[in-house]
A and B are shown apart, each in its own frame.
Chain A
Amino acid sequence: MSELLQFLFSGLTVGAVYALVALGFTIIYNASDVVNFAQGEFVMLGGMVTWFAHAAGLPLPLAALVAILATAALGVAINKLAIEPARGAPVVSLIIITIGASVFLQGAAQLVFDKQIHSFPAFSGDTPLRIGGATIQPQSLWVIGGALVVFAGLWLFFTRTLLGRAVLATSNNRLAAQLVGINTNFVMTLSFALSAGIGALAGVLATPITLTAYSVGIGFALKGFAGAMLGGMGNPKGALAGGFLIGLIEALTAGYLSSTYKEAAAFVVILLVLFFMPQGLFGRKSTERV
């Protein structure tokens, strides 16, 4: 029993990171139908920039803030320099551009920072909390709490605010969005900034547990993408549930089968879900009449 609980704790921790990445995918997808594969690099930058700013003498909270803001600015730059000039290109081309951006960021991080693996101290110490015979790191609670808070914020943003509705309207019909007075370029800028900032936050929260290096981005991107697809692309609820599910499946497989199979198990589940429910768990079937 305590063994199961232990696996669940570790699944929830890593799942929370995936959920944060999946939420980042959700925002840009909602604004533009583009799946931004550079999302994982934002997570990497969150961890790496924090480490270097901290090593340069900034206190940890300030270093984390610098990392989140710098990454958000970088997200805006990617939109302005790579996505906006390609306006009118098919969505697939834009997705390929984001893959290019991801490769570029990873290479640049290798040059600007280094090739070492880094970590920084956990926010609330390293004394594990004992719950029902299992233990959980205080940092895990930070990660899980972060995912829940970001989810709640995004859910309110998309369902309760006019600006959130404007983001959805922009992806649904850019022409009509302009005609009702929405500055669609600003919506894109905003969604890249938000999405990159949330990715960086995931990196900041996760680094004391998962460690960081220039190359960690792609793994986060794939798992986060899997989580978002599993839950239903574009739906914050789906991103949250999908991210946590992937984490739990991985942890349970690693615990009861073998850690060799943990990634395979996650992807098999995704294949099955998408095969039987192509819209994902929370995706709505879209019906349109013309």
Chain B
Amino acid sequence: MLTVEGLRSRYGRIEVLHGIDLHVDSGEIVTVVGANGAGKTTLLRCLSGVQPVSAGTITFRGEPLASVPAYRRLARGLAQSPEGRQIFTNLTVEENLRLGAFLYSDERVEKDMEDAFQMFPILKQKRNLAAGGLSGGQQQMLAMARALMGRPSCLLLDEPSMGLAPIIVQQIFDVVSGLKALGVTVLLVEQNAFGALKIADRGYVMETGQITMQGPAEELIADPRIREAYLGI
């Protein structure tokens, strides 16, 4: 579904992605784990089109994405729940969700919103409140729900567990693994390597702008180098 080949990207003169190759097949949950500053977020920003690519190709559902501006990629089926949640803080929870379905104005919008409320009941209670007043965990739920309102076939999730209490992290990861049943393919970027690998089918390990290891998630969890470097076991 998503294929990345030789992807390079730079901030000014400093290259931060040195040729990334990865692929995500339809229906998979794939995770990219790695330490802070490894380039994971830059990778996702390249995929969603808000970060310039200096070399390499991104192919999504058989078509190259290079010339597709960021705001058109959701219509192709590629949604991103960005790092730091990036919700619309001055709008209400419901308005945030409605804007998630900005591309659509059919009856399914209502139904999708009900589904989102079912997925995250707390959002229904707070639907008429300004999103900026939500707690961190609620904002993360809203960011994910908003991305799903855009009816993606592939969801890019950037650090959904960042800064959240363990019980909320568990709830978020449960929802992510449930996306499979909804037919949404997931590319999950995480520092929380253990949590991410537990729900993923395959994983990539990223270090300073390169993929250093890859394989089925259960193999990576069992790998002594991973256990030492990322899982602290």
| Chain A residue nearest to B86 in the complex (CB) | A176
> Closest Cβ of chain A: how far from B210's Cβ, in Å?
26
Q: Which residues of A have CB within 8 Å of B49? A: 178
Query: Chain B residues with Cβ under 8 A from A286's Cβ?
Result: 89-90, 132
Q: A181-B71, A181-B74 are in contact. Are A176 and B102 (CB under 8 A)?
A: no
User: Is the C-beta of A173 less than 8 angstroms from some C-beta in chain B?
Assistant: yes
Q: What residues on B are CB-neighbors of A288 within 8 Å?
A: 89, 132-133
Shortest C-beta distance, B171 to chain A (Å), equals 19
Selected interface stretch from A88-96, A164-172, A219-227: A164-172
Total A-B residue pairs with C-beta atoms closer than 8 Å? Answer: 85
Q: Check A168–B90 contact: CB distance below 8 A.
A: yes
Q: Which residues of the partner chain B approach A162 to less than 8 Å between Cβ atoms?
A: 98-99, 102, 105
With an 8 A cutoff between CB atoms, is A183 at the interface?
yes
Proximity bits, A170-186, B CB within 8 Å = 1, else 0: 00110111111111100
Q: Are the CB atoms of B90 and A287 closer together than 8 Å?
A: no
Q: Bound state CA distance, A172 and B102, in angstroms?
A: 16
In angstroms, Cα B146 to Cα A180, docked, is: 8
Which B residues are in CB contact (< 8 Å) with A1? none
Contacting pair B71 A173 (CB below 8 A): no
Closest Cβ of chain A to B48, distance in Å, is 6
A179 near B50 with CB under 8 A, answer yes
- Write out the residue numbers on chain A whose beta carbons fall within 8 Å of the beta carbon of B211: none
Indicate with 1 or 0, residue by residue over B134-167, a CB within 8 angstroms of chain A CB atoms. Answer: 1110010000001101100000000000000000
Sort chain B's interface into a size bin: 35 or more
Q: Would B48 and A173 count as touching, CB distance under 8 A?
A: no
Inter-subunit contact B50/A175 (CB<8 Å): yes
Q: How far does the alpha carbon of A177 sit from the alpha carbon of B90 in the complex, in Å?
A: 13
A220 to chain B, nearest CB (A): 28
Q: Contact between A183 and B71 (Cβ–Cβ < 8 Å)?
A: yes
Q: Quick check: is A289 within 8 A (CB to CB) of the other chain?
A: yes
- B70: CB under 8 A from chain A? yes
> B87: CB under 8 A from chain A?
yes
**Which residues does chain A contribute within 8 Å of B95, judged by CB atoms?**
165
Question: What CA separation (Å) do A176 and B90 show in the bound complex?
Answer: 13
Please tell me if B79 contacts chain A, counting CB pairs below 8 Å.
yes
Q: Which of B62-117 contact A (CB under 8 A)?
A: 69-72, 74-75, 79-80, 82, 86-91, 95, 98-100, 102-103, 105
Contact B50 A289 (CB under 8 A): no
Give the complex CA separation of A179 and B133 in angstroms: 22
Q: Cα distance A183–B49 when bound, in Å? A: 13
Contact A173 B88 (CB under 8 A): yes
**Complex interface: chain B residues within 8 A of A181 (CB):** 71-72, 74-75, 102-103, 150
Tell me if B88 and A178 are in contact (CB < 8 A): no
A137 to chain B, nearest CB (A): 40
Contact: B102 with A182, CB < 8 Å? yes
A290 in the interface (beta carbon within 8 A): yes
Enumerate chain B residues within 8 angstroms of A177, measured Cβ to Cβ: 71, 88, 99
Asked if B86 and A179 sit within 8 Å, CB to CB, the answer is yes
Q: List A contacts of B149 (CB < 8 A).
A: 180
Chain A residues, Cβ within 8 Å of B132 = 286-289
B133 touching A289 by the CB < 8 A rule?
yes
Give the distance in Å from the alpha carbon of A209 to the alpha carbon of B209 in the complex.
Answer: 66
A179 B79 Cβ-Cβ under 8 A: yes
Give A187 Cβ to nearest chain B Cβ, in Å.
Answer: 10
* B90 smallest CB distance to A (angstroms): 5
Residue from B49, B80, B149 having most chain A Cβ neighbours under 10 A:
B80
A169–B88 CB distance below 8 A: yes
Whether the Cβ atoms of B136 and A165 lie closer than 8 Å is no
Q: In A144-170, which residues have CB < 8 Å from any B CB?
A: 162, 165-166, 168-169
Sample of 15 more A-B contacts, CB < 8 Å, known A173-B89, A179-B71, A181-B74: A165-B91, A166-B102, A172-B90, A175-B86, A176-B87, A176-B88, A178-B50, A178-B71, A179-B74, A181-B71, A181-B75, A287-B132, A288-B89, A288-B133, A289-B135
B contact residues vs A (CB 8 Å cutoff): 48-50, 69-72, 74-75, 79-80, 82, 86-91, 95, 98-100, 102-103, 105, 130, 132-136, 139, 146-147, 149-150
Mind listing 23 A-B residue pairs with CB under 8 Å?
A162-B102, A165-B95, A168-B88, A172-B88, A172-B89, A175-B50, A176-B87, A176-B88, A177-B71, A179-B50, A179-B147, A180-B99, A180-B102, A180-B146, A181-B74, A181-B75, A181-B102, A182-B102, A288-B89, A289-B133, A289-B136, A289-B139, A290-B136
